Amino acid sequence: MVVGVLLTLAVSACKTAEQQNEISTEPRTHATAVPSVSRAGGTQAVYDSLVAAGTMQATFAGGCFWCMEPVFDVVPGVIATISGYTGGSKPNPTYDEVSSGRTGHAEAMVVFFDPSKVDYATLLDLYWRNIDPLTRDRQFCDGGTQYRAAIFAHDAEQRRMADSSKQALIASRRFSEPIVTEIEDATTFTVAEEYHQDFYQKEPEHYAAYKQGCRRDQRLKEVWGEKK
């Protein structure tokens, strides 16, 4: 499909398109994944297995979850990234319900990681540099509380580190505007529909057009400067 047409279709937000051609629903985990994890039941089974195994988690919201997974997937020590919904009150929300902005949930991503290979501080730094911390209830072209930027801490140490990282950014005086990224305690995480998992791999043209249309890379450059 011509990219110009894709831009027109994709820029309207992180939209579902499950009526399109059927795509693979087999979840992806990394070479470092826990060997006992079974893929037979899809992403929900992977999530349940990793949680049951006590695998370390970091949960971040940074706008459309399609764009957050690839950032962390390349990090050595990251076992799996799974998109979902958290931070609201409605049990077992669907994508359409979260998109309404009435559930209190944010599109988010849980990162399962091996702390002997990558620490939480490194994941925090990577998170900050891949969001716009200066906009409230919005990331790039997507607006609404469901697209808010937030760090969801799983324990007191993660909360302390997240708070410290935010305060360090404020103290650096890097930005003339206030940092509005929220830091919350992690609550129930609902795994998103299979269509959204690893979307950048399943639908690379749609993903590229969406990301380009949202000017995500351009805004990150404006906020953080050139990548080192």
Q: Name the token pair of 219.
A: 């805004």
SS3 22: coil
State the DSSP code for 178. P
C-alpha to C-alpha distance for 181 and 159, rounded to whole angstroms: 13
Report the 10 Å Cβ neighbour count for 180.
14
What is the chain's length?
A: 228
Residues carrying an active site annotation: 64
Contacts of 170 (CB under 8 A, 6+ apart): 179
Closest CA to 220 of 68, 72, 82, 78: 68
Nearest to 23 by CA among 4, 7, 42: 42
Report the C-alpha gap between 203 and 183 in whole angstroms.
31
CA 89 to CA 47: how far, in whole Å? 21
Burial class (CB in 10 A: 0-12, 13-18, 19+), 203: buried
Cα-to-chain-centroid distance, residue 220: 15
